[in-house]
Chains A and B, each alone.
Chain A
Amino acid sequence: MVITEGLTKVFKAEGVETIALRGVSLKVERGDFITVMGPSGCGKTTLLNLLGLIDEPSAGKYYFFGQDVYSMNERQKTELRKRNIGFVFQNFNLIDDLTVYENIELPLVYLGWKKKERKERVEEVVGNMKLSHKKRLFPAQLSGGQQQRVAVARAIIAKPPLILADEPTGNLDSIHGEEVMNILGNLNKEGTTIIMVTHSQSDAAFSRKIVHLFDGQIINENITKV
């Protein structure tokens, strides 16, 4: 499903070059649950940004369902991203001015769904995520766990085959963290591919494979489950 070859990312700031990723090659099969681990600054988030098409690499290739992603123009990449990739962030990244309902609905708006279809789908997901009674509230009126549930709901609303999760439990207590991990685990069981960045060993235990990054390079890949 996802193949990268020699992905490299160099940041330049005020004449100083920082190499965030050095030739990362990765292969992700459909239905995989992969955890990327490593110390702070090793390039985990950078890798996730490149996979999520929200940043450009300095070198390397990226194939998504066999398509050479980096040869696409911006519009094609936006199209590919909105149809295939869902995002969950450590700090939730919800839009404060929109209600829970509107936040979850947003990807469908950009996909051009009709209002009625959107309503049905949002109601379904909101129900599954146990957020029905919170849908008219604003993010600031929710707890961290609830906010992350909203973020997950938003990530899965368009049924993307791939979910990229960047430290999804980083800002949550253990109970809420586990709740979110259970949701991701269940999604994976239903066939959604998940690539997750985390520091947490217990979160990593939900995945099938752990990729260890160090100084922008993959140092080993462990299969945790078969």
Chain B
Amino acid sequence: MGIAVFVFIFLYVQSELRYDKHWSGSENIYRITTDYRVSENSEQIALTPFLLAEKIQNNFPEEVEYSTKIFFSDPSDVNDMSSLIYNDEVYEVPDITIGDSNVFRVFDYYFVEGNKDLSLTKPNTMVISTQVAEMIFGDEMALGKKLKTHIREYTITGVFEKRCKPSHLSFDAIVSVNSLTEKNIELLNSDWFWMNCYTYVKLKPETNYHDFENALNDFSGREIKKFVEKAKININGYTDYSLEKISNVHFNKVLLYDNPGNTDKIYLIVFAIIAGFILLTASINYINLATARSLKRAKEIGVLKVLGAVRYQLSLQYISESLILTTLAFVIALSLVELLMPQFNHLVGKDLTLVGSLFSQGGIIFGSLLVLLIFVLSIISGIFPAFVLSYLKPVNVLKGNKMIVGKGGNQQYSAGRLRKFLVTIQYIVTIGMIISTIIIYQQMMFLKKHDLGFKPENVMVINLPQDTTFNDRASEFIYELSGEESVEQVTLAGNAPGYTAGKRMFFTDDSSKIMSLNYFMVGQNYFKLLEIPLVEGRFFPEFDAKDSTVYYIINQAAADTLKMDTLIGHSLKTTFGLDGKIIGVVRNFHFSSFYKNIEPLVIAFSGKRARYALVRVKGGQHDVALAHINNVWNKYNRNQYLHYTYLDEKLTSLYNSDYKMLSLFTYFSIFVIFISSLGLYGLSSFLIEQRTKELGIRKILGGTANNILLLLVKDYLKLVLLAGIIASPLVYILMSKWLSMFAISIEISTWYFVLGILSALIIAFTTVFIRVYKVINKRPSLALSYE
């Protein structure tokens, strides 16, 4: 089982490390990220301007093979293109984006249908994954078929295979960038500060990426300067581009607007350590039992030696026995892995296969590693009895002298210390896992219970269509939604907490002091619905078409940043022409995840345009409300899916990787506890059996059941305590690092360590007690006759 769990963790870690390594020439593929500094604000974002890819392609022909752009899309947040219509049937494809014709030149997906080089060159073309093709067209060819969204029709020009290629790119369908209107493209192509695309470059093999990075920044510096002068923007800042190796993208957790599925490498390191320890623990159990069993085999060795066996023959015998056993264990373990793979995949949210790993890139390494492991384990497990026991003098063995005793006597070696050392290591891992699990659990509970500054319960977030025809009817839609008893409140919103938000440039009086602040657009009822209290001033007034004033409400963090004596009524200017005035300050609320502190936020009123409708439903009446919402939706949006999320679920999903970590830690902890208890039980069984006679003597001399229990258990408990002392600082360092990822976190309390060590003590005590109990109740006369 130890081997099985090791293989599981290995497969998981391996699949994570394989991210984006399978593209041909992946060592030359880079993502361009932006370091965006305005005044004192600095931000690192994964996005770049739309025009960058084309500028690179045209201006760096010597250095760059291809550059490409893929539009930003949040896979957890559907967009307008998500509902695809074929033969009047609507299919939902949430992860759909826009890209240029170089996408498949940089990322060489395998094309099942179509020509990858030509697939995205024409307007209104779309390339889909095999999964989407199967979903919509079944066994039919997809190429040339037409798919509609509610505003446009696309021709399928390619079908790509996505499975078994782990990548940070997750799209299931991609639309050609030429499908955008010319006006839109012109607008996008003219702005160096509008960050909305991921840009990738495939450098020529001879290009030094560092030189290219410098050249790119020189070039963009000049271009931005021209742009700023032309647009007459007064910005005191600069934009710096960096190249990020494609295989590192999956492990980047620091950039804004990056893939939420990215993983912190620390998890992989922790899992690799756990895997190593689990294997070590299993090996320790085997070694421990082997040494304990060797006592029983000492006589056999004596006889063999008398019969003429020499040391190397005995050593060979032990190592081969161990080899057979370990190989058998591996075969059973691999069968177990194959059997439990679906459950494991469900747990980690992956699509791993053992065969897939063996026959994939690096599969040979995996296979060789398994074989190497068999040998290493066999040798480690077999080496003790092989080398140490074969040293025994046959005369002592045959006389029945004790071969392994703790102190004194005529023993030829002592295995006591080795065993104690091995048991201590096991318990360091066990206690470390228990304490870590407690801390992770406490932190996740802390986040769950932490006051967000608003009430996310029973709030549905409905994704709205982004076309102008709907915008005109949005207020009507909202009004109809509210006409049902199960619906408490409704509001339009451009942004919702937990969803991606944008930043804008603001300044107050001095136009040279520009600040990049988070920017929300919300409807009339937003604060009331989310129960965000006002600290100062007032909420937005009723929508009045005649009033052209732009009103802003800011949060307390923004109020602190603006550093003004009188905020209310003060003007707040922007670089994009929406100068307005501050009319209120609301209490800080966590509009982003707990990974970040609450940042300054400026909230503008949006009367018509909205990305979402927020609906607060009466508790316990979700079904009634949903039926009503569906009816209203279908009335306004034929042929479109109703995409909705519960706000609290969306917020919880921000910590999916942490919850995954918690469940993995819990399972691994239980497993490590189980495996080390098994080891301790086996070991104590052997050792107690060794001491049966001594225990009899002690009982005869007046030792009570409690005396005997204490005698047998205290040795193990001392080891567990020692393990706890060693494990605690290690866990403290590791968990402090993990907690530092969060802007708000629990204090690591001494109690977690006490609880962890105490649990381990209780588990160890119970394990040994179960075994000792049998001995305590044995008649001493039986013990004396035991040899």
Give the interface of A toward B (CB within 8 A): 49, 52, 54-56, 75, 78, 81-83, 87, 89, 93-97, 99, 106-107, 110-111, 137-141, 154
Contacts and interface: CB of A to CB of B under 8 A. Distances in A.
A52, A83, A87, A97 interface centre (most CB from chain B within 10 Å): A97
A138 B409 contact: yes
Interface string B408-431: 111100000000000000000000
A93 B784 contact: yes
B599 interface: no
Given A81-B700, A141-B410, 14 more contacts: A56-B779, A81-B702, A82-B702, A89-B784, A93-B693, A95-B698, A96-B402, A96-B694, A97-B408, A107-B701, A110-B704, A138-B408, A141-B409, A154-B701
Nearest to B777: A74
B361 interface: no
A140 B701 contact: no
27 contacts: A49-B781, A54-B696, A54-B781, A55-B779, A55-B780, A83-B702, A87-B700, A87-B701, A89-B784, A93-B693, A93-B697, A93-B700, A93-B784, A94-B697, A95-B694, A95-B697, A96-B408, A96-B409, A99-B408, A110-B701, A110-B704, A110-B707, A138-B407, A139-B409, A140-B408, A141-B409, A154-B701
A185 B697 CA distance: 24
B367 interface: no
Greatest chain A CB density within 10 A among B402, B410, B781 is at B781
Interface residues of B, number: 25
A37 B370 CA distance: 67
Contacts of B702: 78, 81-83, 107, 110-111
Max chain A C-beta neighbours (<10 A), residue from B405, B406, B697: B697
A97 B694 contact: yes
B703 interface: yes
A106 B694 CA distance: 12
A107 B698 CA distance: 8
Contacts of B406: 97
Nearest to A81: B702
Given A95-B698, A106-B701, A107-B701, A140 B410 contact: yes
Contacts of A111: 702
A110 B703 contact: yes
Interface string B670-689: 00000000000000000000
A153 B401 CA distance: 24
B241 to A, nearest CB: 72
A81 B702 CA distance: 7
A106 B698 contact: yes
B408 A141 contact: yes
Contacts of A83: 702
Interface string B560-604: 000000000000000000000000000000000000000000000
Nearest to A107: B701
Nearest to A89: B784
Q: Which of A54, A75, A82 has the most CB of B within 10 A?
A: A54
Contacts of A95: 694, 697-698
Contacts of A54: 696, 699-700, 779-781, 784
Contacts of B401: 140
Contacts of A154: 701
A54 B780 CA distance: 5
Nearest to A85: B700
A96 B704 CA distance: 20
A9 to B, nearest CB: 10
Contacts of A94: 697
A163 to B, nearest CB: 13
B396 to A, nearest CB: 11
A97 B414 CA distance: 12
Which of A55, A75, A154: most chain B Cβ within 10 A? Answer: A55
Contacts of A78: 699, 702, 704
Q: Which 10 A-B pairs have the closest CB atoms?
A: A82-B702, A138-B408, A110-B702, A140-B409, A55-B781, A54-B780, A49-B781, A54-B781, A107-B701, A140-B410
